[in-house]
Structure 1
């Protein structure tokens, strides 16, 4: 028998187990917690009480307190029930995952009514949660008045269809939810094209039609059956037409993105030729990356306490304390189980991380599970080929974090830098760490540059590290360390 183990705080959840049967419909079920042996993989069967228990997760309801907020959201909010399958880890891990799904749903503009998790060895291949629990989910939907069910996982097309047939409301999975958030937040032409490509890639295998009822029947003789040789049977069905159009649209979007990528490649090549080091700010969504970029460079980019507020990369120039120029780029945030379609569509943008000389891996130290954030982001680094890029772990939001959690993180990441982008604490230490981690120009030069070669002097200031500079009547005397390519151009002005 399949069971839900977890449910959210609003309203009573229906229960179908005989041992918890109530006299009235909607009676609050008995709560079972901490069943011994539940986490032992060698145990052959799940405990009966655990398999039949529904336990509420506190803090999952969307609270609307401001009147104007209620008025605005009432026009657009969907009322959703969250549902997840818990196959490994602890109960706390399952609760954290469902809490993150709640934040995603609210970012998309939904009001969360219930949250339910089920303990299974693996998802049911037909309905994801099993038919019996799908019927319980339908009762929860009916009792709360929800119009959407959000699944904390990726549903196969068949699972999606069968689950909708049982619960009688729209069902979406985690991937569709994240894609919807990206579609709302994309601003640039390239960002919109990337999101549309990801949405179409996700939609293509999930198209639903009505077989030959919407087919284009071939014509024929009057009263002559199927129309003669070569014209018998149905023509192109509606779903086949949709697939053809989606494939054509996806091909067009890929061509557009390849053209847009050229501009970014040209700019990146210019920076590489001039040997300006590149630093990428990457990390989990809502970890404070944009706030940190603003603190370091006064970039003025959007800062919002919401998931995926930044989709379009922002590049700004900064300097180390010794005068070396480098670029700082803010990238799209990552999340656990980041949809494969998004990784593929945003691959050109994520290459900013793979091509960087240094990655500032920003972690939200105030998050309930920052270690999981670290592992999820590093998993994406591996997918995009950025696993070998030098990394500085930045523990952000330390002003709101539990000191014990920070101490535990420092045990696993002893070289991490503690900062608060909001207050500015620790930023100077971070700048020093960036300066120490960036590649240093390797060629030492002592030159006398005439005043007519201000272009070379400007490049030395931009690309190199100046040890000594003196303005004389004959020109500018420099002692500096510069990249090898620039050193070759300065050889003609070597000072004796």
Structure 2
């Protein structure tokens, strides 16, 4: 399997660059550049400096004018940088041009995110998804990996005067490598399809017992995994890092009315998430599209909270989950000291639940909202079941929530919360 990059030495000092066209985009561009810095630091690479470049017209070779490109290359050498990281998506030709001119490693936001995902993938499914995305990214960039062969002579061929020179060894080799890469991509896609079939089978088994599902979604590092841990008393990895969670984790909780609920943690979203990653992670993110409702976690302490919230909705729309009912959670309110700022967030996210997962604030409010979401999914009733119908009693215990159980002569008198889908199944034993 080939890698996205061949790095003979560890990259340690990076210069960040963001190119924008219109003055009105300057503030947004600065925000994206700061976020890129967090992404790069997540890889363990030091950020030496960051540069905003306004280029009214982009160019095919450098994405900016040649004069500005020379200025940035000179700046990178002066700072002793070993990597230039573009926040913009750059084409393979642009990447090659920058590297040839600067003699410095050049990558873009997509490659940074792909490398982070490669570090964080744990399960077989996530590993396959990352592998697929990285190979699809690398395929059109393979030509630059063979530049060391460009100087090889072609040798004489079979035309007049050697005019039809034979192809050089490097040209043949890259075609061989591209074919092998495409075959590898096809194999990974087939493996991923098998994993998805297994996931679908597991989901069908889970749906036989109609337990509702809520998917926790939101911007990366908003506190989704911490919320899952708090609500379910579990120990899912929750770090103060971007993309700490790549694999879905599902835990079961019980609501106040006795109804069970499955909570699923999902991968975090980010602005300008590469489309190939959205495609590659659809099997993971489809938990959001199949959930009964969503819990949208927003980091209230972030200055970009509004934009992060909108980004999440945009990705959900791309996944086809925009029509889902959503409970919005404004997390980390203990870090918001400005009341005007909090009021502004309440206006942007009306009916949001105010929470601090760290301080255990707002848990009861969230549970009540979850209960409200599913109030029409269950019915509370009393049942009188003959003692010899142990199958019915067992089914009430397994598929419903038994609140009370007494015995009256030869009958079991049961008070239970039953899913609406099973109401008719127990109807003949219901006490009117």
When normalised by structure 1's length, the TM-score is 0.77
For 1:344, the equivalent position in structure 2 comes to 279
Q: Deviations over 1:272-308 (max 9, x none)?
A: 2221100001100000000000000012011111000
Structure 1: 5+ residue stretches without partners: 1-74
Q: How does 1:78-157 map to 2 (within 5 A)?
A: 78-88=12-22, 89-121=24-56, 123-157=58-92
Q: How does 1:247-326 map to 2 (within 5 A)?
A: 247-326=182-261
For 2:352, the equivalent position in structure 1 comes to 416
Question: Do the aligned residues in 1 keep the contact of 2:259 with 2:378 (CA within 8 Å)?
Answer: no
Q: Deviations over 1:385-433 (max 9, x none)?
A: 1111111111111111243322111112111001011110011101111
Give the drift of 1:168: 2.1
For 1:36, the equivalent position in structure 2 comes to none
- The alignment status of 1:493 with 2:417, answered yes or no, reads no
For 1:363, the equivalent position in structure 2 comes to 298
Give the drift of 1:140: 1.0
- Aligned counterparts of 2:377 and 2:407: Cα–Cα separation in 1: 23
Question: Do the aligned residues in 1 keep the contact of 2:57 with 2:64 (CA within 8 Å)?
Answer: no
- Aligned counterparts of 1:456 and 1:304: Cα–Cα separation in 2: 45
- Aligned counterparts of 2:154 and 2:48: Cα–Cα separation in 1: 50
Change (3 A) 1:224 1:179: closer
For 1:353, the equivalent position in structure 2 comes to 288
- Aligned counterparts of 1:361 and 1:250: Cα–Cα separation in 2: 34
Give the drift of 1:259: 1.1
Give the drift of 1:158: 1.7
Change (3 A) 1:240 1:120: same
Q: Give the one of 318, 332, 341 matched to 1:383.
A: 318
Change (3 A) 1:414 1:465: farther
Q: Give the one of 262, 268, 272 matched to 1:333.
A: 268
Change (3 A) 1:270 1:397: same
Change (3 A) 1:211 1:117: closer
- Aligned counterparts of 2:150 and 2:100: Cα–Cα separation in 1: 21
For 1:26, the equivalent position in structure 2 comes to none
- Aligned counterparts of 1:453 and 1:117: Cα–Cα separation in 2: 74
- Aligned counterparts of 2:420 and 2:70: Cα–Cα separation in 1: 70
Q: Deviations over 1:323-353 (max 9, x none)?
A: 1001001110110011111111111111100
2:228 is paired with a residue of what secondary structure? helix
Question: Do the aligned residues in 2 keep the contact of 1:80 with 1:112 (CA within 8 Å)?
Answer: yes
For 1:449, the equivalent position in structure 2 comes to 385
Structure 2: 5+ residue stretches without partners: 1-8
2:77 is paired with a residue of what secondary structure? helix
Give the drift of 1:178: 0.2
- Aligned counterparts of 1:316 and 1:115: Cα–Cα separation in 2: 41
1:241 is paired with a residue of what secondary structure? helix
Change (3 A) 1:195 1:212: closer
- Aligned counterparts of 2:417 and 2:257: Cα–Cα separation in 1: 11
When normalised by structure 2's length, the TM-score is 0.88
- Aligned counterparts of 2:64 and 2:154: Cα–Cα separation in 1: 43
For 2:3, the equivalent position in structure 1 comes to none
Q: Deviations over 1:58-114 (max 9, x none)?
A: xxxxxxxxxxxxxxxxx9552100000123545432222111111000001100001
Give the drift of 1:213: 5.2
Q: Give the one of 404, 412, 417 matched to 1:476.
A: 412
Question: Do the aligned residues in 1 keep the contact of 2:404 with 2:416 (CA within 8 Å)?
Answer: yes
Which structure dedicates a bigger proportion of its chain to helix? 2
Change (3 A) 1:435 1:216: farther
Which range is displaced more, 381-390 or 439-448?
439-448
- The alignment status of 1:432 with 2:368, answered yes or no, reads yes
Question: Do the aligned residues in 1 keep the contact of 2:380 with 2:418 (CA within 8 Å)?
Answer: yes
Question: Do the aligned residues in 1 keep the contact of 2:289 with 2:319 (CA within 8 Å)?
Answer: yes
Q: How does 1:396-411 map to 2 (within 5 A)?
A: 396-402=331-337, 403-411=339-347
Change (3 A) 1:211 1:175: closer
- Aligned counterparts of 1:275 and 1:303: Cα–Cα separation in 2: 29
Give the drift of 1:239: 1.8
- Aligned counterparts of 1:366 and 1:247: Cα–Cα separation in 2: 44
Q: How does 1:13-24 map to 2 (within 5 A)?
A: none
- Aligned counterparts of 2:158 and 2:56: Cα–Cα separation in 1: 53
- Aligned counterparts of 1:267 and 1:475: Cα–Cα separation in 2: 37
- Aligned counterparts of 2:77 and 2:379: Cα–Cα separation in 1: 73
Q: Deviations over 1:117-141 (max 9, x none)?
A: 1123453332112211111111111
1:306 is paired with a residue of what secondary structure? coil
2:320 is paired with a residue of what secondary structure? coil
